Amino acid sequence: MSVLAVRGARPLRRKPFAPWPQYSAEDLERLVRVVESRNWGGFPFPNTWAREFGARFAEMHGARYGVAVANGTLALQVALRAAGLRFGDEVIVPAYTWEGTAAAVLFEGGVPVFVDVREDTMCLDASLVEAAITERTRAIIPVHLAMRFADMDALAAIARRYKLVIIEDCAHAHGGRWRGRGAGSMGDLGCFSLQTSKLMTAGEGGVVITSDPRYHEAVQAYVNCGRVGETDDYGIRLVGGNFRITELQAALLIGQLERLGEQNALRRERAARLRAGLEKIPHVAPLEPDPDITEEVMYQYVFRFRPDQTPIHRDVFVRALEAEGIPCEGRFYESVPRSDLFPATAEQFPALAFGRAEPVDYRSVRCPVAERLAYEETVWLPHFLLLGSEEDIDDILAAIEKVATHLEELEGVDAGVKGVSRTGRSRLERDRAW
């Protein structure tokens, strides 16, 4: 008789995990007050809660200024504009990230140039960056992916040498610190997403932080329809848009911010238990500890699947783990140049053909480390699994062990994912499960 739930047996975990997002009575009170004030929007800019949130969020990460915006993709777009990106400029991005990191560059008329990631940190490999720099390169967007950080000191040295702007994509790193410095404060600008799945959220939302007053003035103008911001020391006049966050969202974010430190500490505690357990289970391995991370945060808890001598694919393993009642994903991200969600052509984005004999063809771009991590090796567990009890962690470990010690039952099981790319099916399944 089969043991695994994917083969029809009883799932190991039959209770829900900690709910996400979380809110408090104070959040509800703040929201009611905003509703009653009838002052719901992002204008006047920055509105009351948005101003407070932006300032506190920036301070927490060690930056001088913070501007809350409508979402994380727009945060990147606004930062690129503020950094002076021009049509056809190239921006170096890691291949292993959410498609939005690269899409933001396209939306601003730039050309994303994909560079592979490191095996250990899964983040942009600084040793490969110089070879990707051309006369058109304007910026680098390192992404602090999952539980790790890009090597910001190595990247800063390259940026200084080639006069490039660094925009940190910190969508996974709220409250994180690397070599003592806060996420988003190490580059010229830092961008965060506040979308539902993130470590803190208002349903949607984003933040741009910087310590450079010129960038700050430019950011404010772009976000608020070109209007001059709170200071006008640099005389910045430009065409902006309405990328403001609403006051309803900002009111929610105050509570999210106040809970972040405590929640991150709990996640770390639970992650330590998970790590200790994973070390004892065959065919899986936790990430190596990284001594440069002074405050580790886990937007997703990532571990590696190592099939060793078995023919079982990571996607089948993940499907079996999900069937045991553990929310998880393998193809959480792809190698973006190969992704179905990144069918970038010069027709849609003329910058890809600008000044070139042939338009940029992403389908031919190969980033072997990103591909292996994305399509074969990583398993991603959402952070709210770490916000419950120790028993939750023990259930997760028991489910992983159950699957890992019965891989023979998975022979012939369909991965449920087509081709090399994430399909509508896997997305829909995840949305349902969460």
Sites of contact with ligand PLP (CB under 6 A): 71-73, 97-98, 100-101, 143, 169, 171, 193, 195, 206
Quick one: 317 or 349, whose CB is closer to ligand PLP?
A: 349
> Would you call 86 exposed, middle or buried from its count of C-beta atoms within 10 A (0-12, 13-18, 19+)?
exposed
CB of 111 to ligand PLP, least distance (A): 18
User: CB atoms < 10 A from the CB of 59, how many?
Assistant: 15
Torsion of CA 395, 272, 195, 35, to 10 degrees: 90
Bridge partners, 329 (sequence order): 380
∠ CA 147-127-123, rounded to 5°: 15
Quick one: 195 or 220, whose CB is closer to ligand PLP?
A: 195
Quick one: 187 or 206, whose CB is closer to ligand PLP?
A: 206
Q: Where are the alpha helices (DSSP H) in 163-246?
A: 213-223
Quick one: 74 or 164, whose CB is closer to ligand PLP?
A: 74
CB of 249 to ligand PLP, least distance (A): 12
CB of 236 to ligand PLP, least distance (A): 25
Q: How far is CA 214 from the centre of its chain?
A: 26
CB of 103 to ligand PLP, least distance (A): 9
Phi then psi dihedrals of residue 129, to 5 deg? -70, -45
Quick one: 263 or 300, whose CB is closer to ligand PLP?
A: 300
CB of 297 to ligand PLP, least distance (A): 13
**Contact of 5 with 12, CB cutoff 8 Å:** yes
Largest Cα–Cα separation, the chain: 74
Quick one: 223 or 320, whose CB is closer to ligand PLP?
A: 223
Quick one: 101 or 335, whose CB is closer to ligand PLP?
A: 101
CB of 327 to ligand PLP, least distance (A): 17
Quick one: 185 or 195, whose CB is closer to ligand PLP?
A: 195
Q: Tokens for 147?
A: 């539980």
CB of 251 to ligand PLP, least distance (A): 18
Quick one: 190 or 206, whose CB is closer to ligand PLP?
A: 206
Q: Tokens for 19?
A: 């709910």
Q: Tokens for 243?
A: 């990328």
Q: CA-to-CA distance for 192 and 209, rounded, in angstroms?
A: 8
CB of 242 to ligand PLP, least distance (A): 16
Q: How far is CA 276 from the centre of its chain?
A: 25
- Measured at CB, which residue is nearest to ligand PLP? 72
Q: Which amino acid is at 368?
A: P
CB of 428 to ligand PLP, least distance (A): 17
Residue 111's SS3 state is strand
Bridge partners, 190 (sequence order): 168, 209
Q: Which amino acid is at 348?
A: Q
**Contact of 183 with 8, CB cutoff 8 Å:** no
All residues at 6 or more sequence positions from 393 whose CB lies less than 8 Å from its CB, including other chains: 270, 273, 274, 277, 385, 386
